[in-house]
Amino acid sequence: MSDRKGSAFAGVGVAIVTPFTEGKLDVAKLKTQIEFQIAAGVHFLVPVGTTGESPTLTHDEHERVISEVIQLASGRCKVMAGTGSNCTAEALRLTRRAEKEGADASLQVAPYYNKPTQKGFYEHFKAVAEAVGIPHCVYNIPGRSAKNIEPETIARLAELPNITMVKEATGSLDQCSQILNSTNLTVLSGDDSLTLPMMSIGAQGVISVAGNIVPRDLLAMVAAAAAGDFTVAAKLHHKLFPLCRDMLSLATNPIPVKCAMKLLGRDSGELRLPMTELDDTEIAILRKTLTAYGLL
């Protein structure tokens, strides 16, 4: 497994939330969150992904969050900057800026809404890979982007030297298997609850939402799976499962994780429209899960 491209990013990456106070980016809270993650020992941070509310950040805010995270991390862990877009020119601009700021890699989401052909997907990612020399992780999430990047297209992309990883969020173990069989890319789970099943067939870690709350348990599960101790890994998986389930089933990410962090005193819980807060019934469900986990 160690000979896979992108294996330097094996383990646990956390898709960190973007904290707001009174509608504005809260850099002090961002710093606190980064220190929390580094103290836990996460392998890399992923700012301005889906969990970081990238669709509602201005371009200036997007670039500032990436810059702040890189500076605050100060080389203590890697930073994979979310710089994808459904506009290739914008993805190029954001990715070039992230490279200049010192990002270790970029996360490139599948172009959303405009639903490119498979050729369009290929040409989009190829343009970014050829223009910016850092490693790139293709982020396949058809539930949000409206179209799947087919395994055959990912296999073609794997031939490009600095496309080294895939964040697999299709929910399909068959697709994960096809990618692992046909490429030497590092596959990272894009769904917390599927991390262990995916690692059992060769994935090498996760880009996690629940890691915002319980990074140490995610790290322990991934380490056990990587060591082949699936008895321990399964116990941790089942412990984590209710929490991971709530992060995605109660409402659209990052609504539940921001609410959980607010309940734990770690974030204001503020969201930007069109994201709205959980209702009282949903908060009660989340509170019950957090209490059962031992967090409240």
Catalytic center residues: 139, 167
Measured in residues, the chain has a length of: 296
Partnered with residue 12 across adjacent β-strands are: 206
| 205/222 Cα distance (integer angstroms) | 6
Q: Which tokens is 153 given?
A: 């297209």
CA nearest neighbour of 17 among 43, 49, 57: 49
Contact in structure between 236 and 219 (CB atoms under 8 Å): no
Q: Which residues in the chain belong to E strands, given as ranges?
A: 11-15, 20-21, 24-25, 44-46, 78-82, 105-109, 136-140, 163-168, 186-189, 205-208
Q: What is the DSSP letter of 254?
A: T
What letter represents residue 187's amino acid?
V
* 107 phi and psi angles, rounded to 5 deg: -105, 120
* 35 phi and psi angles, rounded to 5 deg: -60, -40
Contact in structure between 31 and 70 (CB atoms under 8 Å): no
Number of Cβ atoms within 10 Å of the Cβ of 194? 21
Inter-axis angle of helices 59-73 and 88-101, to 10 degrees?
30
Q: How far is CA 191 from the centre of its chain?
A: 9
Q: What is the DSSP letter of 5?
A: B
